[in-house]
Amino acid sequence: MIAEATVTNIWILEDHEVFAKQIRRLIGAEADLVCPHHFTCAADLYDKLKFTSERPDLLLLDLGLPRRDGLEVLGDIRSLLPDLKVLILTAFDDREKVYRAICNGASGYLLKTADPDEILSGIRDVIHGSSALSSPIAKMILEGFARYGPVRQIDPLTSREQEVLRDLVKGFIKKEIADHLAISQHTVDMHLRSVYRKLHVRSQTEAVSKALRQGLV
């Protein structure tokens, strides 16, 4: 008896209708892939997950979503469905988004400029347990590690310093960090100075980058 071929169920969260249709056609032409659902905003995806038992095997996620940052959506999805594989497919190629996406559980990061064969190959790599990176993204990551050199030993952060750093990585400004942690902005400054000293950095951008690269948050 011949075993029935496994078909992978792929959903798309992408607000660009034309691009989403192109990707759905690309997936639909493959015998082992199906794409029954495309969502233009995170709220529609959450509603689908809330009111039905249907679940995807893989989610293609754009980071440039309306009303909600795609990285926040990634965090929500990882909390709701920790075993779901999420492949970023986006136009954003800046270093911070790449690091944050990968450190927050994305299984791969492809650019929309990738050719169709590369996108299909990336989808299958993720399905089979590998990672998928567009060539420019892989090059960026390697150059980033080479530029920063060997990892230096850092002093342990206090629990409050970890909370401040975590909010910093989320993109909070000092006032938002102060409000979130119910402390003064002066106290936030004090903790940030200590964080910078322990991480051997001199700016917010460097602190966020190092925190993501070393998995500190």
**pLDDT tens digit string along 90-100?**
998 887 788 88
Q: Where in the chain is the domain with CATH 1.10.10.10?
A: 159-213
The dihedral through the CA atoms of 91, 96, 101, 107 has a sign that is positive
- The fold of 8-146 is Rossmann fold (3.40.50)
Pick 152 or 47 by higher pLDDT: 47
pLDDT above 90 for 163: yes
Instruction: Compute the average pLDDT of residues 191-204.
Output: 87
Q: Where in the chain is the domain with CATH 3.40.50.2300?
A: 8-146
Residue 214: alpha-carbon gap to chain centroid: 16
Model confidence at 3, pLDDT cuts 50, 70, 90, reads very low
Model confidence at 151, pLDDT cuts 50, 70, 90, reads low
From first CA to last CA, the distance across the chain in angstroms is 50
Say how many C-beta atoms besides its own lie within 10 A of residue 44's C-beta.
Answer: 13
- The fold of 159-213 is Arc Repressor Mutant, subunit A (1.10.10)
pTM of the model: 0.68
CB 66 within 8 A of CB 41: yes
Give pLDDT, residue 199.
87
Give pLDDT, residue 4.
52
Q: What is the pLDDT of residues 50-101, one digit of tens each?
A: 999 999 999 999 999 988 889 989 989 988 999 999 999 999 888 778 888 8
The edge-to-edge listing of strands for the beta sheet with 8-13 is: 33-39, 8-13, 58-61, 85-90, 108-111, 132-133
